[in-house]
Amino acid sequence: MIVMKFGGTSVADATAMKTVLSIVRKYSAEPLIVVLSACSGITNKILKAMEISAAGDKNKALDIYREIEIHHLNLINELIDKKKYKEEALKPVKKLLDDLKNFIEAANLLGELTDRTSDSAVANGELLSTNIFEAACRCYGIESVFLDIRNIICTDSAFGSASVDFDETSIAAKETISPLFGNNKPIITQGFIASDSFGRTTTLGRGGSDYSAAIIGWAVDAGEIQIWTDVNGVMSGDPRILKNACTLPEMSFTAIRWASYFGAKVLHPDTIKPALDNNIPVRVLNTFEMENPGTTILNNTGMKRATLQSLVLQKKCMLRKFTFPDNIGSKKTESRFQSLIDALESKVYYQCRAENLEIYLTDVPNHDEELFLGIDFEAAVENIPVSAIFLIGEMLTGMGSGELFSKLGTVFEKYPPEAIFSGMSNEFIVTAFRPDDAESALKALHEIIVSSF
Ligand code: ASP
């Protein structure tokens, strides 16, 4: 059984939805659960309309509502060409649009917007896209089943970003979803939305549809979860800088987690954790390049030797070196220094300490660097502007990484790094270069990845 999730751009308009229909058809020999986001931009529009209305500008809010209405009515017209199915789609869609309008007007009347009301209103985005898609399935000869996921995913009542009750969800999934499999019809359902134990609509936080897919996959013990998006999976580096950047066929969950921590724009690893907890592979695929195999994320890729996979560049970073007169001085100042880092709201990419030396690699926030000036550390402070390159992969350090390190050494000879940190984890090595060298170093490091394919 496959759980396939399509994001907002994959269901943005009739053309995109037709592509999704052909993907569903392609996989329809298998039992499928199809999880959809709202059409691209609709969640933002609903939230904006609700906020503006609550703040007093009902007319402007209703203008936004009309854009939402027109978008979905056009979508039905362009996607569904048989009268019967058009009517079948229009019935629930008109009701959902009416509900949405009522929410917008109610927010204006009350002059306030609670998270609870906001969740009920915003849920209409996913309910609209799935109702239309389900009618389109029937129109195109794909017999399908519509499922309101609020009857399955159970959460607490933290509206806006609710926490899942996995036990309740598992029970509901077994009772409701499992019997539906017998039909051998794709099940069409919503991402992002859920309900609390009182049956009130909740949401899982912005971008929560990936998480929905992982929860559903976990609850029904799917064989695979597919996240269909608008890129070819996880890449070896930023294709805007690295013209020969390539899609990685496989990546471990831990490696992807580090890539995300260091700032790679990949799917948020925590959102797919429930799937990986059940050892379910997650494939990231491109709706608009259906045949591209994408990237499969696994708990264990079985890689046996050091493999550099992906590079993440952060241009504006700072190496902050503190040399204390003695080890005792270092300990005294540590907590004080930590609170300064917190006050700067710096992201600390790496931190290490030995004897009387302490080094932080941080980003450079746009505000008050002054905080670091004039403080009476008993330490010599050195701030070195650098560009960090994070090397992500598997088995990068330790036994068997000699060959990789000799290749890295060739690059480092040409572009001497200001710092190299390795050994903390097998999945990453942190390097920091002079900003002028960074792009050339990145390209040279990337050649190591390309040559290994
Ligand atoms: N529609 C929701 C959002 O835009 C959830 C999602 O697309 O993942 O945040």
CA distances from 256 to 239, 320, 368, 382 (A): 17, 27, 32, 32
- Range from 73-77, 189-193, 303-307, 432-436 carrying the lowest mean pLDDT: 303-307
pLDDT higher than threshold 80 for residue 431: yes
pLDDT higher than threshold 60 for residue 109: yes
Taking only the tens place, the pLDDT of each residue in 218-254 is 999 999 999 999 889 999 999 999 999 999 999 999 9
Does 125 sit in the ligand 1 pocket, CB within 6 Å?
A: yes
The DSSP string of 1-67 is: -EEEEE-GGGGSSHHHHHHHHHHHHHHTTS-EEEEE-PSTTHHHHHHHHHHHHHTT-HHHHHHHHHH
Atom nearest to 204 CA in ligand 1: 5
Beta bridge partners of 321: 359, 382
Average pLDDT over residues 90-118: 98
Measure the CA–CA gap between 70 and 75, rounded to whole angstroms.
8
Pairing outcome for strands 348-354 and 380-394: unpaired
Does 8 sit in the ligand 1 pocket, CB within 6 Å?
A: yes
What the block records as the tokens of 125 is 């985005």
Measure the CA–CA gap between 394 and 280, rounded to whole angstroms.
20
CA of 193 to the centre of ligand 1 (A): 9
Return all residues near 371 (Cβ < 8 A) that are at least 6 apart: 340, 343, 344
Query: Running DSSP on this structure, what letter comes out for residue 151?
Result: G
In single-letter form, the type of residue at position 441 comes to A
Among 5, 10, 35, 37, residue to substitute to test ligand 1 (most atoms within 8 Å of Cβ)? 37
CATH number, domain 14-222, options 3.40.640.10, 3.40.190.10, 3.40.630.40, 3.40.1160.10: 3.40.1160.10
Sign of the torsion formed by the C-alpha atoms of 235, 237, 240 and 242: negative
Q: What is the pLDDT of residue 376?
A: 59
Taking only the tens place, the pLDDT of each residue in 126-177 is 999 999 999 999 999 999 999 999 999 999 999 999 999 999 999 999 999 9
Please report, rounded to a whole number, the percentage of residues in the chain having pLDDT higher than 70: 94
Q: What is the pLDDT of residue 134?
A: 97
CATH architecture of 307-451: 2-Layer Sandwich (3.30)
What is the pLDDT confidence band of residue 292, given thresholds at 50, 70 and 90? very high
CA distances from 22 to 15, 77, 164, 288 (A): 11, 19, 32, 11
pLDDT higher than threshold 70 for residue 337: no
Give, for 209, the enclosing helix (H) or strand (E). helix 209-220
What the block records as the tokens of 173 is 């999934």
How does the average pLDDT of the chain come out, rounded?
92
What the block records as the tokens of 234 is 């996880």
Of 450, 397, 392, 360, nearest in space to 262 by CA? 392
Does 269 sit in the ligand 1 pocket, CB within 6 Å?
A: no
CA of 286 to the centre of ligand 1 (A): 17
- For 100, phi and psi rounded to 5 degrees? -60, -45
Residues 234/310, Cβ–Cβ less than 8 Å: yes
Does 314 sit in the ligand 1 pocket, CB within 6 Å?
A: no
What is the pLDDT confidence band of residue 333, given thresholds at 50, 70 and 90? low
In single-letter form, the type of residue at position 124 comes to N
For residues 424-447, b (16+ Cβ closer than 10 Å) or e, as one string? eebbbbbbbbeeebbbebbbbbbe
Taking only the tens place, the pLDDT of each residue in 368-418 is 555 555 455 677 888 899 999 999 999 998 788 899 999 999 999 999 999
Return all residues near 54 (Cβ < 8 A) that are at least 6 apart: 107, 108, 110, 111, 112, 113
Q: What is the pLDDT of residue 330?
A: 62
- Range from 24-38, 198-212, 264-278 carrying the lowest mean pLDDT: 264-278
Question: Which position has the token pair 């001497």?
Answer: 416
- Range from 2-16, 306-320, 337-351, 405-419 carrying the lowest mean pLDDT: 337-351
- Length of the chain measured in residues: 453
Cα(first)–Cα(last) distance of the chain, in Å? 31
Question: What are the boundaries of each domain within the chain?
Answer: 14-222, 307-451
Q: What is the pTM of this model?
A: 0.89
CA of 271 to the centre of ligand 1 (A): 12
Does 229 sit in the ligand 1 pocket, CB within 6 Å?
A: no
